[in-house]
Amino acid sequence: MVIRRRFIALCGAAALLGGAVFATSGLAHHGWTWAEGENFELTGVIRTARLGNPHGLLTVNAKNEDWTVEVGQPWRNARAGLKDSMLVKGVEATFQGHRATDKSKRVMKAERVIIKGKLFNLYPDRD
């Protein structure tokens, strides 16, 4: 019984540690759970681009505010016809998608990118 109690206590401690780390770690990055349901649109100029796995991130300046815009993994961008050379510093683009639920953060996930009037649809099955 003593062994079992110690075992359960240790497992509990591990779960607590994991939970505490998770709870203090802030915004979830992957998937959609961190974003709100309403559609959101942002137009601005790309300042920096970090493209590639596990997902691409752009810094976009819109009305003198820097936003972080999550775009697709390489294959998703490629499928939409979006080349890395189009997502470079100085390019003006409109991003449609969903903003982070936490309004204190200027973060959005893009479903569609519009550059010079041309639409690149990263998620053709989402609206």
Partner 1 sequence: MLVDALTALQDWAPAAWLRHARWTYAAVNTAHITGIALLFGAIIPLDLRLIGWRREFPIRVLARVLLPVAVAGFCLAVTAGFFLFSVRAVEYAGLRLFWVKIALIVCALTNAWLLHHALQWEAAQGDVGVTPPPSLRMAGALSIALWLSVIVCGRMLAFVD
Q: By CB under 8 A, name the binding residues for partner 1.
A: 3, 6-7, 10-11, 13-15, 17-18, 21-22, 25-31, 50-54, 73-75, 84
Cα 65 from Cα 71, distance rounded (Å): 18
Judge contact between 108 and 102, C-beta under 8 A: no
The CA-based diameter of the chain, rounded to the nearest angstrom, is 70
Structure tokens at 16: 């607590």
Specify the residue, 54 or 90, whose C-beta has the smaller distance to partner 1.
54
Specify the residue, 14 or 119, whose C-beta has the smaller distance to partner 1.
14
Supply the minimum distance, in Å, between the C-beta of residue 116 and partner 1: 24
Specify the residue, 43 or 102, whose C-beta has the smaller distance to partner 1.
102
Supply the minimum distance, in Å, between the C-beta of residue 79 and partner 1: 10
Cα 17 from Cα 123, distance rounded (Å): 36
